[in-house]
Amino acid sequence: MRVLSIIPAYNEEATIARIVKETTKFTPVLVIDDCSSDNTAQTARQAGCETLRNERNQGKGFSLRTGFAYAIKNNYDAVITLDADGEHKPEEIPRFIEALQQADLIVGQRNVQRSKSRTFLNWFSTFFMRYVLPDLDDTQCGYRAIKTDLLKKMNFTTDRFDLELEMLLEATKHQARIAGLPLQHRPIAKSHQTTKDYVRINNLFDKWCLRNMHHLTLPLHTKAFLYVSCSVGIAIGTLAEKLT
């Protein structure tokens, strides 16, 4: 199986060389630099990987989509996605590749300590998402493995952090085999994810469910509950996105 590791990066000059060197022990690496203001792209290239650079800051989802297109064009069988900040341990890559023997999409499952506000936002969104994604407690971990045959079927509509949720929903629509993989991750102090990103994630979930309800193999009463909840959620979420 030909596997490519994709690392989206934004202003990660301090960590990118180490991550690239550790990752290339297991797979070829492609770094997508999201128009960083530092030397992320140059540092990654010097560390020994292929790099692409967005002409302007486009968002993590855009960088991932660029990497997916590259992997498909170059006939890779699967991709690994991991962050450039050091939270994800490259030595876990062989476990992801092995897990792909039994599934189409593998999602890292972290034991994360969050702030009170983010804990509430995560609980609120996960409550509804479990109806559609019952086997995953952590739907937002960026450390993943996915087969390119499945990527080819997906219809992505976003360029931001919420693409990682859209990936799971699209996999569900196509009845792909999805599995979680427990991780020993390295918590970091900073995060590029904002409260508005959490709101966008919930808004995407609501819109996707309403648009694709007929693809979900759920009892009628569950679909009715989701329909009402998502309709209300869109109204609240649209306002919340404007206010955050």
Structural domain boundaries enclosing 143: 3-189
pLDDT at 23 over 90: yes
What is the residue-wise DSSP string for 167-209?
Answer: HHHHHHHTT--EEEEE------S--S--HHHHHHHHHHHHHHH
The number of beta carbons lying within 10 Å of the beta carbon of residue 124 is 13
pLDDT at 28 over 90: yes
Pick from 144, 130, 139, 187: which is nearest to 162 by CA?
A: 139
pLDDT at 99 over 90: yes
pLDDT in tens, 153-177: 999 999 998 999 999 999 999 999 9
The verdict on residue 97 lying in a domain is: yes
* pTM over cut 0.75: yes
- Strands (DSSP E) contained in 49-195 are 50-53, 78-81, 105-109, 144-147, 178-182
Assigned token pair, 220: 């009628």
The verdict on residue 206 lying in a domain is: no
pLDDT at 13 over 90: yes
In this prediction, residue 191 carries a pLDDT of 60
Instruction: Compare 57 and 119 and report the one with higher pLDDT.
Output: 57
pLDDT at 192 over 70: no
* CA atoms within 13 Å, Cβ hemisphere of 66: 22
The verdict on residue 209 lying in a domain is: no
- 8 Å CB contact between 141 and 109: yes
Assigned token pair, 161: 């952090």
The Cα 47–Cα 190 span in angstroms is: 24
pLDDT at 237 over 80: yes
pLDDT in tens, 216-230: 989 999 999 999 999
pLDDT at 121 over 60: no
Mean of pLDDT over the chain:
91
In this prediction, residue 103 carries a pLDDT of 98
pLDDT at 138 over 70: yes
The verdict on residue 132 lying in a domain is: yes
The verdict on residue 202 lying in a domain is: no
The verdict on residue 230 lying in a domain is: no
DSSP 213: G
The verdict on residue 232 lying in a domain is: no
- 8 Å CB contact between 46 and 115: no
Q: What is the residue type of 84?
A: A
Query: Which strands form 50-53's sheet, in the order they lie side by side?
Result: 50-53, 29-33, 3-9, 78-81, 144-147, 105-109, 178-182
pLDDT at 67 over 90: yes
Which pairing describes strands 50-53 and 144-147: parallel, antiparallel, or unpaired? unpaired
CATH number at residue 183: 3.90.550.10
Is residue 238 very low, low, confident or very high in pLDDT (cuts 50, 70, 90)?
Answer: confident
The arithmetic mean of pLDDT across residues 83-97, rounded, is 97
The verdict on residue 84 lying in a domain is: yes
Which of 12-26, 134-148, 174-188, 190-204 is most confident? Answer: 12-26
Q: For residue 149, which phi and psi values (nearest 5 degrees)?
A: -60, -35
Assigned token pair, 122: 């995560």
In this prediction, residue 115 carries a pLDDT of 53
The number of beta carbons lying within 10 Å of the beta carbon of residue 150 is 19
Is residue 44 very low, low, confident or very high in pLDDT (cuts 50, 70, 90)?
Answer: very high
In this prediction, residue 123 carries a pLDDT of 58
In this prediction, residue 140 carries a pLDDT of 87
The Cα 58–Cα 157 span in angstroms is: 14
Number of domains comprising the chain: 1
* CA atoms within 13 Å, Cβ hemisphere of 21: 7
